[in-house]
Structure 1
Amino acid sequence: MSHGLRIAFFGSSLVSAWWNGAATYYRGLIRALHARGHHVTFYEPDAHGRQEHRDLQDPDWVRVVVSANDRGSLDACLDDAFGADVVVKASGVGTFDAYLEARVLELRRSGTQVVFWDVDAPATLERVAKDANDLFRPLIPRYDHIFTNGGGAPVVNAYRELGARRCVPIFNAVDPDTHHPVAPEPRFAGDLAFLGNRLPDREARMDAFFLKTAEALPRSRMLLGGGGWEDRVVPANVVRLGHVYTQDHNALNSSVRAVLNLHRDSSARFGFSPATRVFEAAGAGACLITDAFEGVEQFLEPGREVLVAHSSEEVVEHVKRLTPEDARRMGQAALRRVLAEHTYAQRAAQVEAELGYRADAGRG
């Protein structure tokens, strides 16, 4: 009889989504792995103000270890992780990343697999490509698996060229228990909402696809959520929401007529990288407008389950033509699609298969 895998997971944060877009991914996936009988310990640093902005108390489906932001505390976590069946180092922990990338490989033993889980593969690959002396580059062939939360053949091929033994996308998805339709709330009423932190390789797209749309539709109410936009000059019809906590995402997605998804530049170049917000919005039955990216049809059908825009002019046309009935119909179609094909339960089953785990036989 199987007792599940013991998984040690080093990541940015599970308990806080503060400047941490991977939180939804970690939560959905780890919760689904727990439901399938696995035991996960998530190690995260007390850094970047995340513990002060927690939006999740320690859940019963994972053991959370918050370490002080120093090497000694990290070494204690590595000692604690020794003996796990699977050891995961996620990208973008935010402190001691290079140190962790090397040290987790020392935890390999007979029966232990070591995984690098890249939650921003386009950024990692571009960084490594630009620097022949990047410390992560020679470590890539030493990991048993490279998992990514986005990217199709371009990401897989790039990692293989760097010597990866195996690279497999485990895409973002939806957890229907946490992201689902709710009653609309007046505070989130509007015609178009964009939710995303202010980052250098996203701002130009935000200007082009969101602010220009707001300028072209001055009678529309536009909602802007996320950190870093406080000092940004915006049109008068844009309502700044600031950081929108996870518990409010369903209300936002269920209240506004359409939700805008914008890729960071690197993600758009590699394609096949829909963000967690795409699945959050679809899971709430929201009508989604996304900037164009290669592979979109692998996740949602353009024109029926999602609206695709190549320019601000196309966003404007979508918003102008979109009736509440059309928005509802498209949101419901997207909801049906993600529940059928893009849940974290399905992603967790894929992870098991990649790790060679069979429930009837234990670890493979």
Structure 2
Amino acid sequence: MHIVLFYHSILSDWNHGNAHFLRGIVRELEERGHQVNVYEPENGWSLQNLVDGYGKEKLDELQQYYPGISTNFYSLESINLDEVLRDADLVLVHEWNEHELVKRIGEHRANKGKYKLLFHDTHHRAVTERESMAKYDLSQYDGVLAFGQKIRDLYLQQGWTQNAWTWHEAADTSVFYPHERKEYKGDLIWIGNWGDEERTAELHEFLINPVKELGLKAKIYGVRYPEHARKALADAGIAYGGWLPNYKAAEEFARYKVTVHVPRRPYVEALPGIPTIRPFEAMACGIPLISSPWDDAENLFTPGEDFLVARNGQEMQQHLQTILHNPEKANALAARGLETIRSRHTCAHRVNELEKVCRELGIAESKVYITPKERILHAE
């Protein structure tokens, strides 16, 4: 297939978690012989913050982990959809795109396109910013890929689309895998952005306070940490590392004994079944994971076996002590989580699911499945 993707950025993961999944999906599609073209807006906020803060050399570093990764920059004023979509078989448009672009692609599909067109939602805004999401004109789209059953159902219930599929995020195991553990730098690592005060109380209860009470050696990476957050980290004796390129996370996980997952409040309260991508990636790296409460309504994992669940800060302290002082328990937990990821939740699994959707939409099997021989010819 010739697949065209419109996303905020594949080059930058600065405060942009969707880039994690996008990179893995694009790599998997290309390895299967599909032709993939990514389009992102010029001067996008994530890439701009990355370059302004860390320099263009970080884009060169990205190539070391994703050789050949590339994108196409566009502006709404100058993009030529006739040219961009001329030979497309499948087009995915992410929900971080401008309303105008989403509408124009839909109009192009209705008037000129022979391709199948899907909207891809990987955020909680369908619940928290429903008015804005309702303004997306999806009338000419073939359906929606939603990263959770609850969001999928919402699109159907609201009449925003006639067809929708659940398409969870997953781990890119070409980058997220267990690295050799030579020596530990500390006890606990946490990688995540502070954000818009959506989990401030939870971060204190399940992360900052337990580290302080237990006197652990810990490090936190992420962006958008306000002054009061940095002060709290310092008070707890937690080292703050700032932005960490996502592709380096696996290397950092190997230097610590445990990590935690603290989901944002909208996912806990309104969107059960959506873990977001961080726990997928952590378990793929073979590090023991302890999570604050979230409802695994879609049975993606086996809580208590793939990862431990702490119902409150006191339980978090107890679980941390167990993992840090019981290597056998820690290793068993990490191994079980890793096996679950490898058997069910990799980008290869998600591409399988996407290809199944393509068949449902009527894309020819000869385009959906490319034989190994055809892949070699395509590569040449």
Which residue of 6, 10, 14 maps to 1:10?
6
Q: CA deviation at 1:60?
A: 5.9
Whole-angstrom CA distance in 1 between matches of 2:133 and 2:154:
17
Deviation by residue 1:266-292 (Cα, 9 ceiling, x = unmatched): 122211112222111111101111122
Indicate yes or no: 2:181 matched with 1:184.
Answer: yes
What aligned pairs does 1:221-260 form with structure 2 within 5 A after superposition? 221-229=217-225, 231=227, 232=229, 233-234=231-232, 235-260=235-260
Unmatched 5+ stretches in structure 2: 52-57, 370-380
**1:347 maps to what in 2?**
350
The letter for the 2-side match of 1:183 is: E
Whole-angstrom CA distance in 2 between matches of 1:283 and 1:315:
22
TM-score by length of 2: 0.83
**2:62 maps to what in 1?**
56
Deviation by residue 1:112-148 (Cα, 9 ceiling, x = unmatched): 111110111x2233312xx3xx474462443212002
Residues 135 and 308 of structure 1, relative CA distance in 2, 3 Å threshold: closer
The SS at the match of 2:45 is coil
**1:171 maps to what in 2?**
168
Q: CA deviation at 1:243?
A: 0.8
TM-score by length of 1: 0.86
**2:141 maps to what in 1?**
143
Q: Is the 8 A contact 2:355 2:368 kept in 1?
A: no
**1:86 maps to what in 2?**
90
What aligned pairs does 1:62-211 form with structure 2 within 5 A after superposition? 63-67=70-74, 70-73=75-78, 75-76=79-80, 79-93=83-97, 97-108=98-109, 109=112, 111-120=114-123, 122-128=124-130, 131=131, 134=132, 136-137=134-135, 139-149=137-147, 151-152=148-149, 154-163=150-159, 164-184=161-181, 189-200=185-196, 201-211=198-208
Residues 262 and 237 of structure 1, relative CA distance in 2, 3 Å threshold: same
Equivalenced residue count is 345
The letter for the 1-side match of 2:33 is: G
Q: Is the 8 A contact 1:306 1:334 kept in 2?
A: yes
Deviation by residue 1:192-236 (Cα, 9 ceiling, x = unmatched): 22211121213332122111212322x211221101226221234
Unmatched 5+ stretches in structure 1: none
The letter for the 2-side match of 1:142 is: Q
Residues 315 and 291 of structure 1, relative CA distance in 2, 3 Å threshold: same
**2:308 maps to what in 1?**
307
The SS at the match of 1:171 is coil
The SS at the match of 2:303 is coil
Deviation by residue 1:220-257 (Cα, 9 ceiling, x = unmatched): 11221101226221234211111111232112222211
Q: Is the 8 A contact 1:123 1:266 kept in 2?
A: no
**Stretch moving more, 139-148 or 333-342:** 139-148
Whole-angstrom CA distance in 1 between matches of 2:236 and 2:347:
39
Residues 169 and 49 of structure 1, relative CA distance in 2, 3 Å threshold: closer
**2:375 maps to what in 1?**
none
Residues 185 and 227 of structure 1, relative CA distance in 2, 3 Å threshold: farther
RMSD: 2.5
The letter for the 1-side match of 2:237 is: N
Residues 183 and 230 of structure 1, relative CA distance in 2, 3 Å threshold: farther
Whole-angstrom CA distance in 1 between matches of 2:346 and 2:129:
30
**1:338 maps to what in 2?**
341
Q: Is the 8 A contact 1:191 1:256 kept in 2?
A: yes
Residues 112 and 77 of structure 1, relative CA distance in 2, 3 Å threshold: closer
**Stretch moving more, 15-24 or 199-208:** 199-208
Q: CA deviation at 1:155?
A: 1.9
Deviation by residue 1:286-337 (Cα, 9 ceiling, x = unmatched): 1111122122672222222101122222211110222233222211111111
Q: Percent identity?
A: 23
Q: CA deviation at 1:47?
A: 1.9
Q: CA deviation at 1:81?
A: 2.8
Residues 283 and 326 of structure 1, relative CA distance in 2, 3 Å threshold: same
Whole-angstrom CA distance in 2 between matches of 1:207 and 1:165:
42
Residues 60 and 182 of structure 1, relative CA distance in 2, 3 Å threshold: closer
The letter for the 2-side match of 1:143 is: Y
Q: Is the 8 A contact 1:39 1:62 kept in 2?
A: no
**1:319 maps to what in 2?**
320
